[in-house]
Amino acid sequence: MPDRPEVTAVEIARLAGVGRAAVSNWRRRHADFPRPVGGTDSSPTFALDEVADWLRGQGKIAELPLLERVWQLLETLRDPAGHPAAPLLQAGAVLLLLHREPGRWPALAAEPDTRLATALPRALADVAGRTLGGAAALRLPGLLGSTQLDLARLLADLASAAGAPGAYEQLLTRYTEANSRQLSPTPPEAAELLAAVAGVPATVLDPASGLGALLLALPSTTGRYGQDADQVTGALAALRLALHTPAAEPGPLPAEIRAGDALRADGYPGDTFEAVLCQPPYNERDWGHDELQFDTRWPGGLVPPRGESELAWVLHCLAHTRPGGLAALLLPPTVAGRRAGRRVRAELLRSGALRAVVALPAGAAPPYGVPLHLWVLRAPRPGDDFRQVLMLDASSASSASLAASPSAAETGEGGRDRVRWAELRRTVLDAWRAFDLAAREGLPLPEDRPGVHRTMAAIDLLDDETDLSPTRHVPPASPVGGAAELAHLTGRLSELLGGLADPAALLPEPGGSGGGMAGAGTAGAAGAVAPVLSVVSVVSVGELVRGGVLEVYSSGSGAPARPAGAGPVGTPVLTDQDLIAGNPPSAVLDTARPTGTTGTTGTTGAAGDVRVRPGDVLVPALGGGVARVVPPGSPLTGAALGRQLHLLRPDPAALDPDFLAGQLRSTASTRRAASHASTTARLDIRRVELPRLPLAEQRALGAAFAGLATFDTTLQQAAVLARTLTQALTDALATGTLQPPAGS
């Protein structure tokens, strides 16, 4: 392993808040850029201290972020032949000491390195043993080197700034981002949904726990148990649970993660729990079909087919659920209908174990492009003859209501950032709790709600396919509203189209005679502006920043955020997708994770500390053609910057915001300033060039740009509303609730 931290070009780009292409340009253009010290010709590595000094010297960073310094030390400690997460175990143990016994660290830190090298490992083993019931799984060394001691000191600083749990979350986030192909953790919003379905059980098991997201969603008073095939990952999850448990709770904590493949080597044979939550691995062919032919977990000896590993996990979870307890699993939608699994699905229906199948929107959990299903089961009790199943289609919670907000909606595609978690939780929990209460108390079942949920007798689902997909069984929703709502939509569309009927009201005349820039800005946008601008000198955004006329902030990965509605109300966070779609902020600041320092190309601080003001111009970093001026009273005011955004704050006494936004929307400006990585165009905001114009002429041209932007927004709203209305009318005609006009 290297004796000092090294970074790749991608990591340098992260430090400076730029694209990787910028780092390549620096290497070519600057003879003093640090030379590679390792890696390969195609992927060289550089000494972190040399890179940091160079970036500071160039004014590209003020100081190397603390999190980055910690991460690079962890990378230095990583053994290429060992587990990539092994150093995180040592880091987690240090943070656990700081969390559980904060008064112990100052005395240790005062020791000289020669004594601290042996005293700290003893303290870590002591705290881990009393908290986790043992420290063997953490593989803590008995003697620490200088790099490990430096890491401990930096972790103490990071914990002081972010709290020990928050510091560990930052490190785990970096680890999952760097190993995204191997790790797909369940997002906290999905984990909280499963935990809410389970209620507040006394004990819970996750047999495929990963980094413990599902267990973490339950209170620390619940006995939380898990299993993972990777021993190091399981140890990370155990540390995570301990760090999120109040320090005052005595150990050993009621939490344990055992190692091993849960299907082949069950870590809890014969044990049952009040609840079992799981997002199992998908599409595994080699899950143990041949050696588990006679396993007692299969009801009536019904072995799941080789290609149905997910159903094997369903039966495994059900076998560990005590009678009357609940199991909830996130599964691919294909599990509900694949022919090979029909007999197992039929058995779950006949036994009364399967209680609900919920269709979730795409983006709720990985893989984010797939609309997963949530299966809810109750382990049958003797004499329980309840045989009803709730079919719930909650997939529409991925987009806003078209009728209510036509400018903000795009139906049918979902996406990680589009899931409306507050609406999704309400839809799922209201329907499930009413159904489950009726099942347990013998009350009347809730009425069906077309387009959302339907209760079906199990026998009605038993046929040649036994397809459990909610979309096949939930009746379609009634057409939008009745005659009054359809009339309202028609009137609103007529109003929007009326504003577009005379383009001259919004658009500059395309054939004006260009006598000068002021005239071009009002009447000659197409016919006169181009010749005049061709002889005007230009200035780049970077030059305007250096001249103090403009501040520019680039958000990079953005402020830590959670979807709006998935917790307390907080500071709104604007994402790049919100900006492109013209939506209000869809997320809020996650106060559990510190904002940190993100990349900035401005001069007044970190982008993570910036809040949107009226007069700011917002631009997505990826793609082009979108630049929005924030008007007074906008819902964007006060928002923090999410990922992949540029915020430009002009001095209105020298640079008109509408003029700036219009130039940023122009094809020529974005094309010249775009760089390409794979198929994605990234806007290098500092390279955008603007014509040098007097402020009066900027304002005239800016007014024309603003008119074009208004026209475009109105046109988009009309198009979305027209789709909503035509779909509603089509549905009304198809269901017979609306009759065609006479004589048609």
d(CA 260, CA 272): 18
Which region holds residue 710: left if phi is over 0, alpha if psi is between -120 and 50, else beta? alpha
d(CA 455, CA 392): 9
- Please report the pLDDT score of residue 63 as a whole number: 65
Q: Which of 194-198, 381-385, 600-604, 711-715 is predicted least confidently?
A: 600-604
Report the alpha-carbon distance of residue 175 to residue 180 in Å, rounded: 8
Query: What digits encode the pLDDT tens for the residues 101-117?
Result: 999 999 999 999 999 99
- Are the CB atoms for 634 and 605 separated by under 8 Å? no
Between 360 and 411, the higher pLDDT residue = 360
Looking at 71-85, 289-303, 413-427, 438-452, which range is the least confident one? Answer: 413-427
What burial letters (b/e) apply to 590-617, b meaning 16+ CB within 10 Å?
Answer: beebbbbbbbbbbeeebbbbbebeebbb
pLDDT of residue 519: 37
**Model pLDDT, residue 743:** 63
Mean pLDDT score, 247-259: 93
H or E element that contains 647: strand 645-650
Report CA dihedral (122, 128, 133, 134) to the nearest 10 degrees. -50
- Whole-structure pTM value: 0.71
Res 230: pLDDT: 94
* Mean of per-residue pLDDT scores for the chain: 84
Q: What average pLDDT score do residues 633-658 get?
A: 91
